[in-house]
Structure 1
Amino acid sequence: MKSYGYILFLTILTIFMNGCKKQPDCPEPMGYQQYGEPFSNVPATEDIVIYEVNLRAFSQEGNLAGVQQKLDHLVSLGVNVIWLMPIQTNGGPLNSPYCISNFYEVDEEYGTLEDLRTFVAEAHSRNMAIILDWVANHTSWDHPWIDSTGWHTTDAQGNIIHPSGTNWTDVADLNFDNTALQEQMIDAMRYWVLEANVDGYRCDAADYVPFDFWQKAIDSLRIIPNREI
């Protein structure tokens, strides 16, 4: 069952928790390498000035490079945290950025992983942290996980359904009772922290996802060495 209470504070996933320093009881996450230097000037929560960026609408280019060209303008506004709306490959008939078909890939509309790395580095050089919009609650209907039995919520007849109580028919609801799904989702979140050097997440539809998953995700991200996530 999904938990809807007491997690609205997770709209931004403890963006800047104190990271774990590199110690014997603080193991390296497996499988990925840290790209670049972890950002050391993450603002305190009470000092955050956040700017949400819709990549398609922010610039004429409609991509990461277009936003990068305007970083100095954002600095002039006093921004110290940039929140990027979903950058991952999306699917579905509506072409919504919140309809993810691959949690590990930058949508070619916005650029490449290298473009994201460059963007993050340029933002960090201007003392701005980068957080990604994270869509944990659902996937596109053409996501490979559709073929994984038990990874999505089903009705009494065993048919995968869209999120209950919504009109989000372009997406398929994920089943967070499935431990394998939870582990894979957390793995994807670790991927971007390490491989793209991002600083945290804003969590979409946080109150549709069980509290215990978010706690598990926070604990897993906290053990990444030398980070404030």
Structure 2
Amino acid sequence: MHSIEERDWEAIGRSLDRHGNALLPELLNPAQCRALAALYPREDCYRSRVVMARHGFGRGEYKYFSYPLPALIDTLRHALYARLAPLANRWNRELGMDLQYPGTLDAFLARCHLAGQRRPTPLILEYHEGDYNCLHQDLYGDHMFPLQTAILLSEPGRDFTGGEFVMTETSSGEQIAQVLPLRQGDALVFTVNQRPAPGRRSGMRKVAMRHGVSRLLSGHRHTLGVIFHDAR
């Protein structure tokens, strides 16, 4: 397992530019994954529980953590944000957006909270056989950070089968789908909404991204979602 600081962030940036996502292998070790997944049945860690079928989101459920976040999640959220903010600022410049993100997560969250976005968004998702997550975007208010992270807490082939992470990108009527297999402890950094891509003739164009999870064929699956903007 390599720390966030030891990662090749130039290569991560190139992957995000090219595909809208980047893999961080073995960000968490198996013991950390099991400890986080074991939090799911508890009630004292969370502000709300969402049953996907009730809202047309798919099948399965997830819970949003309450503040204060568990120490490991809080550390991950701060460290990842600090590394991703420069890339997010470059993307905004390439898209012609006059919006810059501060260098620290605390400063960005202060901006969210002033706008009424005060509810924490890190979450754990739980899937069982037959469950899935429809393609979607995690938008919670006017202030949005353009990247987020999913970390697989379960072991494919042992804990579950199926249940692959899926992303689509759409631009000018074309759509591309990506299936992104993850191992236990792997993290995927990916686009929340739109990313810049080279135009067909010149300049940059916007590519809209969505993500979801394919149907679980057996077992159960837990995933940690680390979203950087808070919600209304």
Higher relative contact order (CA 8 A, sep 6+): 1
Task: Please tell me the TM-score bracket, short chain as reference.
Answer: under 0.3
TM-score of the superposed pair, with normalisation by structure 2: 0.27
TM-score of the superposed pair, with normalisation by structure 1: 0.27
The structure carrying a bigger strand percent of its residues is: 2
The structure carrying a bigger helix percent of its residues is: 1
